[in-house]
Amino acid sequence: MDVLRPMLININGRMYRKNPVQEEYYEEEDNYSYSDPAADQCMDEPCDTHNIEQTDKGFRCALDVPSVLYKYIIGKKGETRKRLESETKTSISIPKQGVEGQIVITGAHSAAVSSAVTRVEVLIDSFRRKQPFTHFLSFALNHDQVQEGFKRFREDVLQRCGQDSGVDVSIFQNPAKLHLTIGTLALLNEQEVTRASELLQQCQDVIRDITEGKALPVEVRGIEYMNDDPSMVDVLYAKVAAQDSSDKLQQIADRLLECFVSGGLMEREWDKVKIHATVMNTLFRKDPSAEVKGTSGRQNIKDRESFDARNILQMFGEFDFGAFELNSVHLSQRYSTDSTGYYSSAGHVTFS
C-alpha cells in the first residue's frame, strides 16, 4: 500500500482512510482513521448519521450484522470489543455466534454511541470484503442451441488441440452453467439475500425501458483470452453481443452494476461490465464451480496451471456457439444448482 495514497472507503457517506496494522488474532487486521472534517463535530454534539435512539439510561443504536462477522467485532478473547468499548465509553452487546440478530451499542452520550457505531461499521466493511462471494448477477446462456454449440467446441478443441500444453477436459465450463456474469455479491444471511432479490426487482422497469419490453436476440460468437500471452492462458471466453449490433446488453449490465453498487451490495471493479462468457478456466481443474473472481478456498494464482491457447485461437477464433432470445437476469446462487443444472436462482426479472 502507498502510505501517501491510502485506500479510501465510503461508509454511509463518510470517508475513511485505511491503514494496515498487524494484530495477534488475524494475519492482517485493518485499522482506519476518520478523515471526514465533520468528525470533530460529533465529539461535542449528536450526529444524525446513525439511527440513535434516546432511552431512559442514555442512548442506543442497533446494527444489523450477519453472524459470520461477529468474531471480527469480538476479537481474540474479546479484546477488540473491549478496546472499542474502552475508547468510546460505550457497551457493545453481540448475539451468540451463529444466531442472527442485531449488535446493540449503548452509552451515556449520543456522540459516544455514534463513534462506536462508526468503528464497528468500518470493521464490518473491512472484513466483509474478505468474504468469498456467495451469489452473482448473471444472464443465463444455457439455451439448447448454445449448449450444443459449446459441446461441439469442446469436442473439436480436445480432438484437434488436446495435445497442447495444459489443455484437457477439466478446464471446460459445464454446458448447463454457461452464463454471463454481471457482478458478484457476498450475501451473508437470508436477510441480505432478500434485500438483493428486492433490489433486482426494483431494476425491472429500468431494464424494460432499455429493451422496450421485448426479449433481446443475442449471438455467442468468437473467443478471446484474458492475458497478454496466448501461450499461457488462464481464462478463455466467448464473446456475446446483441444481434442487432445495439449496445442494449451492455446498457442493461452497466445499469444493474450501478444499481447494486449504489445499494451497497456489490463492489465496483471496472467502469463497465466486460461482456463475456467463460468457456475455459484453469481454476476448474480443482474447483468446477470456480469463477474468475476468487474461489471458496481462495486458490492462489500461482497454483494455476495455464494452457497454450495459440492453436485454439487460430482454429476457433470465430466459432459460432449459437444464437437465442435473452429474456431474463438472475440472482444466481453459487454452489447450488436447479433441476436444469444451472445455478439456483434467488430471484430474477424478465425483459418483457
Tell me, yes or no, whether 117 and 170 share the same domain: no
Q: Are residues 124 and 151 in the same domain?
A: no
Instruction: Between 335 and 293, name the one with better pLDDT.
Output: 335
| Domain CATH for 288 | 3.90.1140.10
Residue 78 sits in the same domain as residue 149: no
Is 257 a domain residue? yes
CA distances from 180 to 43, 96, 171 (A): 48, 39, 17
For the chain, the straight-line distance linking the first and the last C-alpha, in angstroms and rounded, comes to 47
Give the per-residue pLDDT at 15.
Answer: 55
**pLDDT reading at 31 higher than 50:** no
Bridge partners of 333? 135
Q: Is the same domain home to 103 and 31? A: yes
pLDDT of residue 161: 97
| DSSP H helical ranges for 189-309 | 190-202, 204-211, 248-262
The pLDDT, as a whole number, for residue 12 is: 52
Decide if 3 is inside a domain: no
By residue range, what is the domain housing residue 118?
8-128
Is 320 within the bounds of a domain? yes
Which residue, of 86, 110, 128, is where some domain finishes? 128
- The residue type at 333: Q
CA-to-CA dists, residue 159 to 149, 154, 312, angstroms: 15, 9, 11
Same domain, 157 and 287: yes
Same structural domain, 178 and 50: no
66 lies in the same domain as 183? no
What string of DSSP letters covers 23-86? -SSSSSEEEEEE--GGGGGGGTS--SSS-PEEETTEEEEEEEE-GGGHHHHH-GGGHHHHHHHH
User: Which residue blocks in 189-294 are alpha helix, DSSP H?
Assistant: 190-202, 204-211, 248-262
Same domain, residue pair 286 and 320: yes
Of 59, 93, 128, the residue that ends a domain is 128
pLDDT tens-digit map of 163-175: 999 999 999 999 9
Is the C-alpha dihedral spanning 21, 296, 235, 126 positive or negative? negative
Q: Please report whether residue 238 resides in a domain.
A: yes
- The number of domains in the chain is 2
- The residue among 98, 128, 158 that closes a domain is 128
Mean pLDDT of the chain: 86
Q: Given this model, what pLDDT does residue 221 score?
A: 97
Indicate if the pLDDT at residue 208 is higher than 80.
Answer: yes
* Together in a domain, 121 and 209: no
Helices 204-211 and 248-262: crossing angle in degrees, nearest 10, is: 160
- Whether residue 346 lies inside any domain: the answer is yes
pLDDT of residue 39: 37
Q: Are residues 116 and 159 in the same domain?
A: no
Q: Is residue 176 part of a domain?
A: yes
Measuring CA to CA, how many Å separate 230 from each of 8, 290, 306, 326? 36, 22, 10, 31
Residues 233 and 285 in one domain: yes
Q: Identify the residue with better confidence: 117 or 13.
A: 117
On whether both 185 and 306 belong to a single domain, the answer is yes
In a domain, 68, yes or no: yes
State the angle between helix axes of 79-88 and 110-128 in degrees (0 to 180), rounded to the nearest 10. 150
CB-hemisphere CA count at 13 Å for 120? 33
Nearest to 287 by CA among 296, 278, 279: 296
pLDDT, tens digit, for every residue of 111-169? Answer: 999 999 999 999 998 898 889 999 999 999 999 999 999 999 999 999 999 999 999 99
Q: What is the DSSP string of 211-225?
A: HTTS-EEEEEEEEEE
Cα–Cα dist 151/163, whole Å: 19
CATH of the domain at 44: 3.30.1370.10
Distances (CA, A) of 331 to 59, 83, 84, 137, 202: 39, 39, 37, 5, 13
Residue 1 inside a domain? The answer is no
Residues in the chain: 352
Whether the predicted pLDDT of 14 surpasses 90? no
CB within 8 A of 130, min separation 6: which ones? none
